[in-house]
Structure 1
Amino acid sequence: MNDLKQYGASFERKDFEILSRERVFQGYFAIDAYKARYRKFDGTESAVITREIFERGDAAAVVPYDPVRDAVVLIEQFRLGAARDSESPWLLELPAGIIDAGETPENTVMREMVEETGISLEKAVHALDFLTTPGGSTEKIFLYVGLVDSSRAAGYHGLMSESEDIRVLSVPFEDALALIDTGRIRNSIAIVGLQYLALHKSSVLKSLKQ
């Protein structure tokens, strides 16, 4: 493998400055207005930029995998953000949720799995962390792969207090990958999670069995 250090970040945290931050909206989520500047690649300083950033909070998600049946547990639910989608705003997703104060990402996926599917994870291993849309949001996703009995995937779940109406289903892993190609799975977290498992299945299985 090539030396990946050559692809490291060009600059560090000291190479940018946040001049101001103001909360301009607070509702179900929040929006902050920033003024900032940063070092440019030619060594000069940028002009002051103004951006409104969506402050959603960090979240954790899990790919619930059943190695016995080579299947994953997926959920389907209505998403208002997909209302203009040409197909349908009922999306196939992974169990996921916002990390509550004082909660670890692993605790979050354990909790969300029960709330959204009615099934407990036997074990969860950390996969990777990624930013969803850093051009306009601070959200970071902590992704896990979990060991699960997919034969128990059935019915409708979710918290009434959060107006959740979630359908749970077991999908053969190869079918889940094919659903990405057909566009039926178009939720970014689900795509990242399923493709991560496809690339690292052998090492993930080893970790889940330890």
Structure 2
Amino acid sequence: MSVADRVRIRETTLLSDNWGRLEKTVFDWRRSDGSWQTQIRETYDRGDGAAVLPYDPERGTVLLVRQFRFPAFRRGHDEPLLEACAGLLDADDPAGCAKKEAEEELGIRLTDVAFAMAAFMSPGSVTERLHLFTARYRPEDRIGTGGGHVEEGEDIEAVELPFETALAMIDTGEICDGKTVMLLQHIALKGLMRR
């Protein structure tokens, strides 16, 4: 039996349609024992995204962005987050989006991006699937200063760190963004960085 055979949607109510779309759905779920249970869930849909973590195995560095994230601040995180650069797909394919975000946020032109994985980052309430990439870069790939788009509220700092330092920052909590943790560990597990 597929999941589609186990869900009967009864009612969907639009709660908000601003930056993203927030809906409340009442549905019946067929439990493993065959009985039906009515459940209510809110889902937030803002589209899918892509993220890329550029790395330079020759110099042993990675490029990250540092930016203010209001939801993290709201939860008591008093510093801008260090993250892999990322953005919403909009009309782009995932690889094209990753390259575009690297130019806008980091000021580098990436020619080849390598797909790492696609993951739901918070599947209990957010519909977004994030497509994660890595890409080799060199200092001569720099085409600008980065920083993002002011009109979109972006105030981004490009940060180059030694890979080992970035990896250690996971343990200290200085890097606490899920996509960034996953990409740093992916680079380590795949042996992409010379150690």
TM-score (norm 1): 0.83
Q: Do residues 83 (structure 1) and 73 (structure 2) align?
A: yes
- CA deviations 1:89-117 (Å, max 9, x no partner) are 4010011000113x201110010010001
Q: Counterpart of 2:23?
A: 32
Q: Counterpart of 1:41?
A: 32
Does the aligned pair in 2 maintain the 1:158–1:166 contact within 8 Å? yes
Helix, strand or coil at the partner of 2:166: helix
Shift of 1:85: 4.7
Shift of 1:57: 1.2
Identity of aligned residues (%): 34
Which portions of structure 1, spanning 4 or more consecutive aligned residues, are displaced by more than 6 angstroms?
none
Q: Quick one: which of 146, 152, 157 aligns to 1:162?
A: 152
Helix, strand or coil at the partner of 2:161: strand
Q: Quick one: which of 113, 116, 139 aligns to 2:105?
A: 116
Does the aligned pair in 2 maintain the 1:93–1:190 contact within 8 Å? yes
Q: Do residues 190 (structure 1) and 176 (structure 2) align?
A: no
Q: Which residue identity lines up with residue 21 of structure 2 in the other structure?
A: A
Helix, strand or coil at the partner of 2:191: helix
Does the aligned pair in 1 maintain the 2:103–2:143 contact within 8 Å? no
Partners of 1:167 and 1:83 in 2: how far apart?
Answer: 17
Shift of 1:126: 0.7
Does the aligned pair in 2 maintain the 1:129–1:142 contact within 8 Å? yes
Change over 3 Å in CA distance of 1:83–1:153 after alignment to 2: farther
Partners of 2:32 and 2:115 in 1: how far apart?
Answer: 34
Q: Where does structure 2 lack aligned partners over 5 or more consecutive residues?
A: none
Number of equivalent positions: 193
Helix, strand or coil at the partner of 1:83: helix
- CA deviations 1:142-172 (Å, max 9, x no partner) are 1111121257599561111112111111111
TM-score (norm 2): 0.89
Q: Which residue identity lines up with residue 127 of structure 1 in the other structure?
A: A
